[in-house]
Structure 1
Amino acid sequence: MQYDFDYVVIGSGFGGSVSALRLSEKGYKVLVLEKGKWLTARDFPKTNWNLKKWLWLPALRFYGLFKLTFFRHVAVLSGVGVGGGSLVYANTLPVPKAKFFQAETWAHLADWESELAPFYQTALTMMGATPNPRLEAGDLALQQLAKDIGKAEHFQPTNVAVYFGKPGVTEPDPYFNGQGPARTGCNFCGGCMLGCRFNSKNTLDKNYLYFAQKNGARVQAETEVYDVMPLATSNGTHGYRIKWRAATALHETRGEYTTRGVIFAGGVMGTVPLLLQLQRTSLPHLSEKVGAGIRTNSESLIGVTTFDKQKVFSEGVAIGSILHTDEHSHLEPVRYSAGSGVWRLLMSPLVQGRNALVRIANVLGDLI
């Protein structure tokens, strides 16, 4: 049977980019579909007050790289665009602690720490991971805290996917024997999570996705998949028909492709809603476990400000250091570029209360 592509990958973030590269290395004809735009350095905002360039809010025709989704008990931050989450994450590449691999949910399946070790190393190499060479004000404050609580040895610079050449100087590819794109030395502006405007952050379009394209993979941005239908038989043994629509066009644009196989790699916020929709329509045989067992990365974001105007907390990489407070927890100082004060709008006193009205009253009480 003739297909348009051997494999269609939905999503161009970490899962999608890695899948595209490995499939293309095996000689398969691969298509990557990405809902967001293909953004370049000139498209990224200088501060997060430039909401139109920063946020993904199609209803307002904001087609930036950052999506903020609120649920009852959690807010989810995710990336939209070619490169997915690598556009907006803080460059850090930590390997999980031993306890993670021993979690009850999956520990019985394999010795995951040993099983995954070589793959973590491959990913670190591909992403150009290196220790942050420069501690700034926030990092030094965390280092002092580590000393104060008797955990100085548990403080360390982060391992980050950033090119630390000469600041502002563009050099030929330093990672893949000259076969990759040129890179520019980091200037420590703090804008990593707004999209790097200086070609220093090692996003996926500069490694996995870059080489997938060199192998012949095609990337189609601004494309949202809305249906995946089995061909001929309901179990997909004869392939699938992928239906898509333009994600950013003013006029209605739709299309479809046929493929031998589909890789769903749109992250939790992209893949799970799509699979749940397909479970009710085109793919009724999907497991009932779809959507179950989803977890966050258990982060609590706490806003911090200071009256000391002499200290500059915006300089450095997004997360330049880490303090491991115990076997389960750690602290990291996070920064945005100078002038990026949007998160101040979400800052308020930390209060308790049995419902939202009580908590609002307690906040007002603290402020007054």
Structure 2
Amino acid sequence: MSGSSNDPAPRLSADPHDTADVIVVGSGFGGAVAALRLAEQGRSVLVLEQGRRHTPQDLLAARSDPRKYLWMPELGLRGFFWQRVLRHVGIIGGAGVGGGSIVWAGVLLEPKDGFFTDPAWPEVADGWRAQLTEHYRTAARMLGRETTRFVGEMDRHLETTAEKMGAGQTYGPTPMAIWFGAPGEEGVTVPDPFFGGEGPDRTGCRLCGACLIGCPYGSKNTLDLNYLWLAERRGVRIRPDTRVETVAAMPEGGYEVHTAGGEVLRAAEVVLAAGVLGTVEVLFRSREQGLLSHVSPRLGHGVRTNSEAITAVLADDPDADLTRGPTISSEFYPDEATHVTQNRYVGGWNMRLQLGPLVDGDVPARRRRAALAELGRHPFRQLRLMTARNFIERLSVFTVMQNVENEIRLVMDRSPVTPWRRVLRSRTGGGAPAPSYLPQANEVARRFAESVGGRPLNLLLESVGGKSITAHVLGGAAMGADASAGVIDTDHQVFGHPGLYLVDGSSIPANVGVNPSLTITAMAERFAARYRARRTSSPDHASSIGAQ
């Protein structure tokens, strides 16, 4: 751990390329936007990314080798998919240049009005919907939003499910960050279709259903093919394999960034964009060591899981194949606050070990007992599930999200496994706890199972573990009117630390209720526009590619 008595003395990097006007920590949606837009404004930018720069060959190899898929550096595994299980929540994400976009399904949805009017937001002129409208448009252009025209068997069953739940009118195709190409051109490579030839060649989606395990074909619009690609061509330097431990405010102004390798890098300004767990942990460590002494006591509060639950259905037909298409291609709203997408899970080799019987109940202890009783009554049914032939081809997974108020809290405390280390741990928050059970999610699984002919399933971490499982963790260092209400102001600047910014999902104070990547990107675009306006007399965006 940084700062322990056994650590070697930090060394100031002697490489002149390791200094910059701005250091960006993380290369996901927030960091990628910040890197490009600040470089366009004439700032020298250095991006630090803890993961590797993955090649298409790496992504292909990961499909058959879990050692190249999993990110567990403490075990020597330096892939790109990670899962972190805390007491109240299980969180999944991506590591590498491009951050979560590597394991992203590519969904680009704008939230409903309830998100923008949530009382957790600090007030801004005209309201948050108006503040973000132009930035949603820019984000959609930059990420190449295109509504999928593909309709497969899984989509038809989801439409039937929506109709059975009285929500057929809300069913539709999903807007995606995927290059599909012209009809009949699956797998055909064309010159850059997005940035006037300045971007890379792109290949039409092969409809392989494997978006979540990385796209090696150049079809999914991952950040290395847009924001980061363009940023590097404007002088941004990206250093992979560089984990940041702490950030220190300097008495003379500016900041030092301390890496796990013992280096110290300096910059006038720092943008933290390491995702919720990364950003919150860096801020906790820095505050505990007296390096960022003014960070708000609200740090770690208001962590959101997007009020998410995951269910699944395994088709009874052993020869069924529902995998053709992008991972996600259709959606519906069973009620005003709840959103559903289906998922093809090609490459999800471990899902057969994570699923079990569908069990209802909003009291975790009772639900756990009911799930264990069901497993005890039917052990061979569970064994058949775990050993099912053509499991992935028969599997449909559902992500159910809500824009409702609930939360957990993150704290730094002794590790239960290695008590000499301090690590992030979860606690219940001050309000309603993040749910491990959504009745709407179980109903989706039941209705879909009726349509396809199959068995509805829960994640065992939810039913037995009582944990909220999410790929869309938010908050923990959210915006507020002042330091008593949040960690950052409405310009994304950390209260008490001028020039230190936070631009990722941890800034968002409410559950988005849909996949949040477009919202994180739009908020990062707004940050960059506000940054420009403070530094210049004109907020003109004409020099920003993709902006209008």
With normalisation by structure 2, the TM-score equals 0.62
Q: Which amino acid aligns with 2:65?
A: N
Structure 2 contact 97–240 (Cα < 8 Å) conserved: yes
- Return the alpha-carbon distance in structure 2 between the equivalents of residues 143 and 48 of structure 1: 30
Q: Which residue of 2 aligns with 1:60?
A: 75
Question: Aligned in 2, Cα 1:61/1:309: closer, same or farther, shift over 3 Å?
Answer: same
Q: Which residue of 2 aligns with 1:250?
A: none
Q: Which residue of 2 aligns with 1:17?
A: 32
Q: In the alignment, does 2:198 pair up with 1:179?
A: yes
Q: Which residue of 1 aligns with 2:212?
A: 193
- Return the alpha-carbon distance in structure 2 between the equivalents of residues 160 and 119 of structure 1: 17
1:26-105, aligned counterparts within 5 Å?
26-45=41-60, 50-105=65-120
Q: Which residue of 1 aligns with 2:159?
A: 143
Structure 1 contact 47–191 (Cα < 8 Å) conserved: no
Q: Which residue of 2 aligns with 1:273?
A: 281
Q: Which amino acid aligns with 2:154?
A: G
Per-residue CA deviations over 1:206-243 (Å, capped at 9, x if unaligned) read 1111111111010000100112222235xxxx111112
Q: In the alignment, does 2:225 pair up with 1:214?
A: no
1:217-296, aligned counterparts within 5 Å?
217-233=236-252, 238-245=253-260, 253-281=261-289, 282-296=291-305
Corresponding residue SS for 2:331: strand
Query: Aligned-pair distance for 1:293?
Result: 1.1
Question: Aligned in 2, Cα 1:291/1:90: closer, same or farther, shift over 3 Å?
Answer: same
Pairing partner for 1:158 from 174, 181, 184: 174
- Return the alpha-carbon distance in structure 2 between the equivalents of residues 23 and 325 of structure 1: 41
Corresponding residue SS for 1:173: coil
Q: In the alignment, does 2:351 pair up with 1:343?
A: yes
Query: Aligned-pair distance for 1:187?
Result: 0.3
Q: Which residue of 2 aligns with 1:205?
A: 224
Q: Which amino acid aligns with 2:234?
A: N
Residues 143-152 or 40-49, more deviating: 40-49
Q: In the alignment, does 2:378 pair up with 1:362?
A: no
Question: Aligned in 2, Cα 1:356/1:321: closer, same or farther, shift over 3 Å?
Answer: closer
Query: Aligned-pair distance for 1:71?
Result: 1.7
Structure 2 contact 27–98 (Cα < 8 Å) conserved: yes
Query: Aligned-pair distance for 1:50?
Result: 2.5
Pairing partner for 1:297 from 283, 292, 306: 306
Query: Aligned-pair distance for 1:342?
Result: 1.3
Question: Aligned in 2, Cα 1:270/1:355: closer, same or farther, shift over 3 Å?
Answer: farther
Stretches of 4+ aligned residues off by more than 6 angstroms: none
- Return the alpha-carbon distance in structure 1 between the equivalents of residues 62 and 151 of structure 2: 22
Query: Aligned-pair distance for 1:148?
Result: 3.0
Corresponding residue SS for 2:140: helix
Query: Aligned-pair distance for 1:145?
Result: 1.8
- Return the alpha-carbon distance in structure 2 between the equivalents of residues 5 and 24 of structure 1: 11
Pairing partner for 1:313 from 306, 322, 325: 322
Pairing partner for 2:130 from 94, 109, 114: 114
Residues 30-39 or 161-170, more deviating: 161-170
Corresponding residue SS for 1:72: coil
Q: Which amino acid aligns with 1:231?
A: M
Q: Which amino acid aligns with 1:286?
A: V
Query: Aligned-pair distance for 1:316?
Result: 0.9
Question: Aligned in 2, Cα 1:76/1:288: closer, same or farther, shift over 3 Å?
Answer: same
Q: Which residue of 1 aligns with 2:333?
A: 324
Q: Which residue of 2 aligns with 1:248?
A: none
- Return the alpha-carbon distance in structure 2 between the equivalents of residues 359 and 260 of structure 1: 56
With normalisation by structure 1, the TM-score equals 0.91
Question: Aligned in 2, Cα 1:355/1:255: closer, same or farther, shift over 3 Å?
Answer: farther
Q: Which residue of 1 aligns with 2:428?
A: none
- Return the alpha-carbon distance in structure 2 between the equivalents of residues 366 and 177 of structure 1: 62
Query: Aligned-pair distance for 1:356?
Result: 8.9
Pairing partner for 1:132 from 148, 158, 170: 148
- Return the alpha-carbon distance in structure 2 between the equivalents of residues 102 and 195 of structure 1: 35
Query: Aligned-pair distance for 1:272?
Result: 0.5
Query: Aligned-pair distance for 1:6?
Result: 0.2
Structure 2 contact 19–46 (Cα < 8 Å) conserved: no
Aligned-residue identity in percent: 39
Residues 327-336 or 18-27, more deviating: 327-336
- Structure 1 unpaired stretches of 5+: 246-252
Question: Aligned in 2, Cα 1:264/1:152: closer, same or farther, shift over 3 Å?
Answer: same
Structure 2 contact 247–286 (Cα < 8 Å) conserved: yes
- Return the alpha-carbon distance in structure 2 between the equivalents of residues 114 and 33 of structure 1: 33
Structure 1 contact 46–191 (Cα < 8 Å) conserved: no
